[in-house]
């Protein structure tokens, strides 16, 4: 009888342990949140005092202005969070690992790389449409969008390392898609600095 009672007490704790398994560790959440914030803030420091002419300057008709790069980032932030929260968390993408496992560092390195062979035209839905009139428009909206990403990362119980989806960095997990968002910010921060270093950039 005593053994039976002990078993009854033990079963709920075993069930709780099995359902509360954390696939993204506290350390990973903390470090990735810091990365997301740092990547955002360095953009803000670069653009916050730009004039209207500097904000909209394009080195050529085919290239983006700083405003265009910022709007692309804002569109991608919203779209990627929706992807992670909704689209990929289905049976179709459960444990759908590609030909090989891609490390977090590989995701960052690939996305940050702006060498000529890694520069591709973005898909039409991610093209800037001229909706951001000032740096302050972007700062306000992007801060809110990025905070939504960070809040989700820090609080979710979703099994982000069990769902995989193929994108520019290969077939990566939901958690790695969040890492990608920070690296994506850094990629286009570099692009903004390239625009600002152009010989005809207004001073």
**DSSP output for 140-203:** HHHHHHHHHHHHHHHH--S-TTSBEEEETTEEEEHHHHHHHHHHHHHHHHHHHHHHHTSTT---
pLDDT at 100 over 90: no
pLDDT at 30 over 70: yes
Average pLDDT of 73-83? 97
Using CA atoms, how far apart are residues 46 and 165, in angstroms rounded to an integer? 32
- Cβ atoms within 10 Å of 93's Cβ, excluding its own: 17
pLDDT at 66 over 50: yes
Q: What is the pLDDT, as a whole number, of residue 119? A: 75
pLDDT-derived band at 99, boundaries 50, 70, 90: confident
pLDDT at 15 over 60: no
Global pTM reads 0.86
Average pLDDT of 56-67? 94
pLDDT-derived band at 23, boundaries 50, 70, 90: confident
Alpha carbon 52 to its chain centroid, in Å, reads 28
pLDDT-derived band at 19, boundaries 50, 70, 90: very low
Mean pLDDT value across the chain: 88
For the domain made up of 24-196, give the CATH fold.
1.20.120
> Which position has the token pair 């520019």?
168
Average pLDDT of 54-77? 96
pLDDT at 203 over 80: yes
Burial of 60 (0-12, 13-18, 19+ CB in 10 A): exposed
Using CA atoms, how far apart are residues 129 and 71, in angstroms rounded to an integer? 8
């Amino acid at each position: 009888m005593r053994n039976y009672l002990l078993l009854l007490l033990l079963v709920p704790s075993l069930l709780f342990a099995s359902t509360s398994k954390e696939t993204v560790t506290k350390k990973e959440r903390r470090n990735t949140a810091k990365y997301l914030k740092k990547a955002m803030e360095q953009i803000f420091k670069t653009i916050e005092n730009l004039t209207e002419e500097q904000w909209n300057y394009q080195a050529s008709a085919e290239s983006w202005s700083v405003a265009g790069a910022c709007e692309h980032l804002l569109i991608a932030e919203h779209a990627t969070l929706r992807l992670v929260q909704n689209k990929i968390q289905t049976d179709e993408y459960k444990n759908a690992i590609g030909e090989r496992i891609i490390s977090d560092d590989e995701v960052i390195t690939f996305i940050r790389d702006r060498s000529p062979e890694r520069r591709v035209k973005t898909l039409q839905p991610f093209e800037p449409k001229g909706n951001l009139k000032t740096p302050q428009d972007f700062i306000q909206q992007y801060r809110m969008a990025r905070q939504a990403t960070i809040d989700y990362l820090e609080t979710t119980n979703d099994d982000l390392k069990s769902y995989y989806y193929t994108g520019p960095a290969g077939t990566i997990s939901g958690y790695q898609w969040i890492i990608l968002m920070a690296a994506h910010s850094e990629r286009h921060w570099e692009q903004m600095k390239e625009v600002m270093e152009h010989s005809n950039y207004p001073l």
